[in-house]
Chains A and B, each alone.
Chain A
């Protein structure tokens, strides 16, 4: 595992979560920490996946979440939006939009670093052990973080890097500098 790429993946994942959570939650309640994959594997989660692809690499971003009533209540207690209609349906929609925003932020950071990449729309995986499935397709690097509310896990994020054949020795993601320069989201840019 290349240490520069590993650090870059942590930066991308952490900044994506920081920016997105700052926009949707009352931030003082939420904290984000790097975790080991085993922390995620120890629990039962549903997973939403979104991919970023370029000519030299592919990234899979996964959001692992519980849809227990207790977690959903904690979640809606923390976000800024109103609840309208069925809480579980809205939670599912919110999770998909969250992954869309996380992947969009990651793709924007990669753009600032000079990579030309496109992203997919989020999809829910109908499997219970998504990290095992990712292991089977052999990523070149992976990082995981957890989002905690007052010490209790709310959801976890994983970012997997797959370097396209032939670029294994040459692809170096120089992300920390790019992430610092990356403009914040949410501003209205006039044309």
Chain B
């Protein structure tokens, strides 16, 4: 039951079209699931077509590998929504592993007579693949908290990192000119593997959305390079789409953190954390109880809830949904303000809130929501800090000066659920907390929101 190469190429052509349609349909939540089906269909026909390739002589290992991969894949598809960032990082690692292994095998099949251009794309494939592999594993380890999350920085770090990368590129350049020195090939795998580790060492949790996007882009580009090596247009296109997607997300994330793109490209993350340790004198704040907070919320017409990573850590999203229901029932207009870098990966907050059954049309992007804050009665900040810090707008000495923020300080009343007065992840003091209109609600996010909900259910009634 073998089919001709032309037939396989035509199948790949259809698969390519389905892949592009898959991403096109992802533009809106109403058509997005159709996009997944298109992607699945494209994948299915491409794999089926490949299995009919006439060059394949032994199916035993193929079947074992496909079954084994599915067994590994199913639990990775069923992880809890809060674990999605580390799952994503892990899948970047798997993708990069596949590309690196194939590149390595292709090199040794062709060696020692590898034409220079072929050697060039092979080198790009394995360098990008192996640095993405260890980089993504490190990122996944930090997100899963198996590795210390604190960024580790030292003097001259960028010089060391760039030196290591330059070493790998140098060896690759030498191999392009002298491909018969096959003993050098392991270096263009080993050195980038080391670089991947070094690259992630200075990364802190707040930088993760940018880093995951960047690794996504690298994984895509390495797959595209593999497409060049194998002369597979399907793979080139899929890799280019993935690379473009990761690139757009990285640019979005770096804009949302007010970092230049070159800053992102050269991996100079984690510097803000190191720079920030300023004034931390005890200033007076106003605090309130759950009962008072419930009364203020009940009197409001327009409420905006601003969730951050703290909400995910406290697993408070389901309690937040109960609060949303209680307020909506009373006729209060409730929206959620989503900062692009809230959480640990792009879109993280949206997924968590959607999981808690909050309608997606209530989740509003920063740019769209900011003009509405002056007309907002109450803002409730849950587990977010730096993305609400007005110093980013007003204080040029602040390390986050210039970063776009949610203008929550323009609302009439601001309530902030926070464990204590310790500064946020980046170690930056937040002047928002000392405003006259701000009430601090001290406690665990889940318990505090739960207490507010109980006030509504019990004491409030219809008055």
Is this pair of chains taken from one and the same complex?
no
Residues of A within 8 A of B (CB): none
Residues of B within 8 A of A (CB): none
